[in-house]
Structure 1
């Protein structure tokens, strides 16, 4: 078997997403995906990555992973080189699964969990991606159509939002009400008045549903350590499950200091790439939960190493997805096969909306848990209709 063709697809209406399909001479097509800077990643794949893979055996995944991830440049970050390598690695694993007619979780060691607990990231339908977005309606309204706008809801009606998630079977949710205040000051300062405003959604959630749902707080690395700690001192009274990326993830010492003083468990970080970055966080005891994004950290090959390393430090993992459906499927396979996986992030607005237009199969969510995918490889394919869209950009490199 050898790789004969590498094809990329992106939509101008979803400018952050890029899909890559790796074709083999025996008819297999592996699917991968990455997110952000899609045009730059597309250019890198066709100018450099394709030359590294065309004519090669797609099943020599570890060899290809090393070649793509450990090059002269880009090996120590989550830039274009790593995002290209991540998407291609996912596609190669998809080919492997199809070649042996097994789901990816089986190739990664088999099921360590019969299902994977999900938490809902409270984003709206166009968060990070573009596209239409509609409001979530209040509890009891039977005219629910279109996409959820959970991001507006967690500010305007967080109590109703929490109740609606519980009714769908979710036992955890993630919100980020402090971000707007960080944008006002560059993350250097927050007033006591604004801290109280940021705490209001947590207070309303706890009053409405008590501890029936876990609540995570996302900070998007917007704050300096001093200010992040000022927020944490007040936030910890609300039984927060984790504080995610409270500061920029480029200072292990600062993050370790935050963890020691915050009184809230720390989760980090979807923004990091390759095992070396996570090794440093774990060695410094700077995190309680390890979050990784398979389309940014190096693909399935690197993610499996990171998950195993986290397990050695007795830290749980929770794969990230606020990006695309292919990464969600790949992350689910990783989580199901990793003993220390405790959550898979989902965005119900995406699952109920535009994700359905992009791929042939999405994860089966039942009562807040994701079931193992069926079929070989990833268990999903790119929707053939995407390439026929007026705003589709398709590029091909071939032997």
Structure 2
């Protein structure tokens, strides 16, 4: 079996998402995805990587993965080159599963669990949708389409009611980022007493309403300098968060290790890291307690499982990231089930009950706070036929012909 064509698809409405389809002479097609800078990713795929793919055996995934990132500008990054390689890698695993008639988690060694806990990242319907990826006064897409799960507005203004609603739906963990507006106002250099008080309010509301019945993960989006991040960590400790995620820029193992030593709360790192090498540096430095990996950015399933194994070597849990697109979510769920040290799976109910269903045939089954294994060969998900008929769709194909 040989790769005969590499296809990319981008829509104007979901402009940050790029899908990759790997075609073969056997008629089997693998589907992958990555997120952000879609145009640059597609250009790199067709201008540089297609020549490394066409005519090759698609089942030689490990060898292909090495070739895709063995470029001077694609070493241990999450830039367009690595995102392109990630999407292709996910598509190759999808194709591998389809060839063997097995789900991807089986191809990765089989399911380690019957079900896995999820936490709800409290984004809304417009969060990171289309070109909206830059926070505006912390809004991240507020004021978009109405629906029952506008959780971004809820955590900012009604965190107590949101926590109660999540528990009513069986979801026992939530992730929020109320410190972002203050960071944008001060460039993350300092925080005033008034800003601190405002940002702590959601935690006060949650604990007053539901006590310790729900876990709270805190996302900082790498926006703070080290002294201020440590100050915030101490202010939040009485509310017993589960973890602090990306409190500072993830480019200094020593600085993050200093942060980790300053608090009893776990440090989670990081959706911003590409390849296993920076994870190794953080683990060696004692700088992180939870290895968070976005498969669409860090090298795909091939690299993701290596990071999970690396974390396990340091007795650390694995927690795949998801706050991007539907194919990436499916890939993350497969990765979660295949790794014995998986702690919890990120999910966004405004996404998997909302716009994901506009694009793909199925989404992972989530019930009472747990996600269940995907069924069917490969990733178990395909783009809906309507996607290929959209007037805002841009398709590009590189083929042997």
CA contact under 8 A between 1:103 and 1:375: conserved in structure 2? yes
Shift of 1:385: 1.1
Question: Alignment partner of 2:238: what SS?
Answer: helix
In 2: Cα distance, 1:367 partner to 1:209 partner: 17
In 1: Cα distance, 2:343 partner to 2:266 partner: 15
Counterpart in the other structure of 1:139: none
CA contact under 8 A between 1:387 and 1:393: conserved in structure 2? no
Counterpart in the other structure of 1:7: 7
Deviations 1:53-81 (A, max 9, x none): 01100000000000012222211211011
In 2: Cα distance, 1:111 partner to 1:347 partner: 23
1:137-216 equivalences under 5 Å are 146=147, 148-216=149-217
Shift of 1:103: 0.6
- Segments of structure 1 that go 5 or more residues without pairing to the other structure are 137-144
Question: Alignment partner of 1:287: what SS?
Answer: coil
Counterpart in the other structure of 2:83: 83
Question: Alignment partner of 1:20: what SS?
Answer: strand
In 2: Cα distance, 1:95 partner to 1:352 partner: 26
Shift of 1:133: 6.5
What TM-score results when the alignment is normalised by the length of structure 2?
0.96
Question: Alignment partner of 1:9: what SS?
Answer: strand
Counterpart in the other structure of 1:348: 349
In 1: Cα distance, 2:162 partner to 2:70 partner: 44
Deviations 1:235-281 (A, max 9, x none): 00001000000000001100000000023210000000001111101
Counterpart in the other structure of 1:254: 255
Question: Alignment partner of 1:273: what SS?
Answer: coil
Counterpart in the other structure of 1:266: 267
In 1: Cα distance, 2:221 partner to 2:310 partner: 24
Counterpart in the other structure of 2:100: 100
2:294 is equivalent to residue 290 of structure 1: no
Shift of 1:134: 6.1
CA contact under 8 A between 2:126 and 2:144: conserved in structure 1? no
2:151 is equivalent to residue 127 of structure 1: no
Change (3 A) 1:152 1:133: closer
Counterpart in the other structure of 2:137: none
Cα RMSD (Å) of the superposition? 1.3
Question: Alignment partner of 1:22: what SS?
Answer: strand
1:221-232 equivalences under 5 Å are 221-232=222-233
CA contact under 8 A between 1:135 and 1:150: conserved in structure 2? no
Paired positions, count: 391
In 2: Cα distance, 1:206 partner to 1:351 partner: 27
Deviations 1:188-212 (A, max 9, x none): 0001221111110000000001111
Counterpart in the other structure of 2:135: none
In 1: Cα distance, 2:14 partner to 2:332 partner: 21
Counterpart in the other structure of 1:35: 35
- Segments of structure 2 that go 5 or more residues without pairing to the other structure are 133-140
What TM-score results when the alignment is normalised by the length of structure 1?
0.96
CA contact under 8 A between 2:120 and 2:175: conserved in structure 1? yes
Counterpart in the other structure of 2:365: 364
Deviations 1:132-191 (A, max 9, x none): 96689xxxxxxxx73521111001110110011111111100000000000001000001
